[in-house]
Each structure stands twice: as structure tokens, then as C-alpha cells.
């Protein structure tokens, strides 16, 4: 094992060991906080491995999370919990395969609009499809052991980090970065952009579906307005942008900062204003830190070094 890989292994092992043993010595409140933290790490990495790398920014990622959650929730009365989670990822992937070729034909602001409209359309369709969703009143489903849900979310969070890293350092990841920089130039260089975008979109949506499938077992209740919440999509985008989208560490840093800020600074206050706060954060990030916190700190260090040398 090379020196670099050994360092990477240690950097992954320490937080994994911490999270795995946390239920033994922390209160249920802290464990719940860590669960939410890992939930958003997984969701943000899943979003970033396509939208962040390719530049196809989606604000409707919650649609595929919701598909996974409803699939798992409905099947929980008939199948074992782990199987329903896999089914959630599978159904999300199938929907992504069906809709992807059409959705990925548009880009920029039009892609934003299409993805947002998709999540809103799914939410409203389920509200009216009362036999499946329970309508406005929601649907009760069998809840699962809280520790099992916690460990599954932790596992998926670490798998998402590994997959995001593998994509970033592969030929496929290079193709996504080229699409981000200039899609026409990428095609001229021999990149099959349609294929690359569809595969990236598919992998990203499967992760969202699996995460939704796991979370179905936590709540024991499904409500279209709660699941297809626009705030979830906005938070995922902001977390990725806050840390930096063209790297694996960026979404982790952004998630830790925003979840910690939300929990311990806002403390559950300003709930109705939270979407507005998120919108303001997006504007500030685009203006002052377009490459994210990590690149911003690196640029400050570089300027400081040049100043000292000069």
C-alpha cells in the first residue's frame, strides 16, 4: 500500500470508527444529529458525483429520494427492510433511465427548471393519488430499529464518499469534468457526452433512492409534502457549493458546516424562513465564493504566501 493510500485509509477509518461507536457513549440526541449529518453527507455526495462534476445543477434531487422512500415504505409491509431499500434504489434508477434522455437534453437554467418541476409534479401527483400516498394526511408504515437505520445511513455515507472519489479519479470522471468545462469541446475530443451524462445521472439517482429507502424505516410515516420538500434539494445544493463541487472533500465540509449551523445556531428556529435563508446563502456563495470554502481558503493561503515572498 502506497503512502498516499495509507493516509486516505486512515482518514476514512477514524471517522468511521467514531461514528460506529458513537451510540455506545453518546446520548440519543447526539446520535440523531450524527444520523442527520451522515444522511446529508450521503445525499450531497450523491448529488455532487453527477451535478457537481458535470455542471448540470439540479434543484429537484429530492424527487428521486422521494421515489426511493415511497417504494421502500410501500413494500415494508410485504418484504424485509434491506430488500425494500434495494428496491427503492432500483425504482429510482429505472425512473432515471426513463426520464434521463429527455431531461439531459436541456442545460443551464432550463435544466434547473425541469428538475424542480419534476419534483413538484411528483409531489402533487402523490397528493392526489390517495390510494398510494394517503393524500394530504400521509400514510403510516412500519418503522424500523433506530440503530439499524443509523448504521445503514453511516454505511451509505461512506460508500458514497468512496464512489465519488473513484469517479473523480477515473476516465469517466474526467469526461464529466470536460462536460462541465465545455460540452462541445468534450464531444470534439471524443467524449460520448450523452452516454456519460446518462450514466452519471443514473448513479446519482440510485444513491438518492437508496437513501430514501433507508429513511422510510426511520419515520414510520410518509407525507408527500414532507418527503418532496424543496428545502431538502436547496440544502443539498448549498452544502455542495459551500464546500466546493469539483472535489470529494468539499461536500463533506459544506455539509458539516451547514448542518452544525442549522442545529446548534438556529436551533430549530426560523423554520418558515429557512428556505429564504438558503436562497440568500446561494446568492452570497455565487458572488463571494464561487469555487467553495476549500478553494477560497487555498486562494487566501496562496495570496498570503506571495505577499510574504514579495
pLDDT tens-digit profile of 256-310?
Answer: 988 887 777 665 555 556 667 766 776 777 677 666 667 666 666 555 544 444 4
Could you tell me which residues are beta bridge partners of residue 140? 221
Sign of CA dihedral 173, 179, 182, 183: positive
Within-domain flag for 159: yes
Q: Which residue has the higher pLDDT, 252 or 285?
A: 252
Within-domain flag for 295: no
pLDDT at residue 107 is higher than 70: yes
Within-domain flag for 86: yes
Q: Which of 155, 123, 143 is nearest to 215 (CA)?
A: 143
Residues 6 or more apart whose CB falls under 8 angstroms from that of 243 comprise: 249, 250, 251, 252, 253, 254, 255, 257, 292, 293, 294
**109-125 burial, b for 16+ CB within 10 Å, e for fewer?**
eebbebbbebbeebbee
Q: What Rg, from alpha-carbon coordinates, does the chain have?
A: 20
Q: What is the mean pLDDT of residues 215-228?
A: 86
Predicted structure pTM score: 0.88
Residue 126's SS3 state is: helix
Cα-Cα end-to-end distance for the chain = 40
Residues 6 or more apart whose CB falls under 8 angstroms from that of 142 comprise: 76, 77, 217, 220
Within-domain flag for 246: no
The mean-pLDDT minimum among 62-71, 112-121, 277-286 falls in: 277-286
pLDDT band (50, 70, 90) for residue 242: confident
Range of the domain at 166: 27-240
Within-domain flag for 275: no
pLDDT on residue 8: 65
Within-domain flag for 92: yes
Q: What is the mean pLDDT of residues 209-225?
A: 89
Backbone angles phi, psi at 138, to 5 degrees: 85, -170
Q: What is the mean pLDDT of residues 41-70?
A: 93
Q: Which residue has the higher pLDDT, 262 or 224?
A: 224
pLDDT on residue 287: 73
Q: Which of 140, 117, 121 is nearest to 129 (CA)?
A: 121
Q: Which residue has the higher pLDDT, 272 or 225?
A: 225
Residue 222's SS3 state is: strand
Q: Which of 54, 46, 59, 53 is nearest to 113 (CA)?
A: 59
**Which residue's C-alpha cell is 448540470?**
56
Mean confidence (pLDDT) of the chain: 85
Cα angle 225-115-125, degrees, rounded to a multiple of 5: 40
User: pLDDT tens digits for 128-170?
Assistant: 877 777 766 778 888 888 899 999 999 999 999 999 999 999 9
Sign of CA dihedral 95, 101, 103, 108: positive
Within-domain flag for 281: no
pLDDT on residue 194: 93
The mean-pLDDT minimum among 8-12, 76-80, 127-131 falls in: 8-12
In this structure, the chain runs to a length of 310
Within-domain flag for 107: yes
| Number of domains within the chain | 1
Amino acid at each position: 500500500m502506497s503512502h498516499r493510500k495509507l493516509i486516505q485509509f486512515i482518514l476514512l477509518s477514524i471517522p468511521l470508527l467514531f461514528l460506529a461507536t458513537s451510540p455506545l457513549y453518546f446520548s440519543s440526541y447526539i446520535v440523531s444529529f450524527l444520523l442527520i449529518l451522515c444522511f446529508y453527507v450521503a445525499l450531497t455526495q450523491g448529488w455532487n458525483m453527477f451535478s457537481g462534476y458535470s455542471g448540470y445543477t439540479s434543484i429537484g434531487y429530492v424527487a428521486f429520494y422521494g421515489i426511493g422512500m415511497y417504494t421502500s415504505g410501500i413494500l415494508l409491509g410485504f418484504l424485509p427492510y434491506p430488500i425494500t431499500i434495494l428496491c427503492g434504489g432500483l425504482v429510482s434508477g429505472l425512473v432515471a433511465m426513463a426520464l434521463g434522455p429527455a431531461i439531459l437534453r436541456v442545460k443551464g437554467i432550463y435544466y434547473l427548471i425541469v428538475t424542480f418541476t419534476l419534483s413538484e409534479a411528483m409531489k402533487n401527483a402523490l397528493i392526489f393519488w390517495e390510494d398510494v400516498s394517503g393524500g394530504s394526511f400521509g400514510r403510516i408504515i412500519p418503522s424500523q430499529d433506530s440503530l439499524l437505520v443509523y448504521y445503514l445511513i453511516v454505511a451509505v455515507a461512506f460508500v458514497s464518499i468512496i464512489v465519488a472519489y473513484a469517479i473523480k479519479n477515473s476516465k469517466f470522471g474526467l469526461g464529466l469534468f470536460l462536460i462541465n468545462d465545455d460540452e462541445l469541446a468534450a464531444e470534439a475530443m471524443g467524449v460520448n457526452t450523452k452516454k456519460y451524462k446518462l450514466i452519471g445521472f443514473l448513479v446519482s439517482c440510485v444513491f438518492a433512492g437508496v437513501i430514501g429507502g433507508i429513511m422510510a424505516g426511520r419515520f414510520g410515516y410518509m407525507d408527500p409534502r414532507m418527503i418532496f420538500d424543496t428545502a431538502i434539494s436547496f440544502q443539498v445544493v448549498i452544502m455542495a457549493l459551500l464546500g466546493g463541487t469539483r472535489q470529494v472533500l468539499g461536500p463533506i465540509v459544506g455539509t458539516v458546516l451547514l448542518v452544525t449551523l442549522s442545529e446548534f445556531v438556529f436551533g430549530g428556529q426560523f423554520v418558515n424562513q429557512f428556505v429564504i435563508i438558503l436562497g440568500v446563502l446561494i446568492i452570497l456563495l455565487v458572488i463571494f465564493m464561487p469555487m467553495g470554502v476549500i478553494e477560497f481558503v487555498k486562494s487566501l493561503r496562496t495570496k498570503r504566501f506571495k505577499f510574504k515572498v514579495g
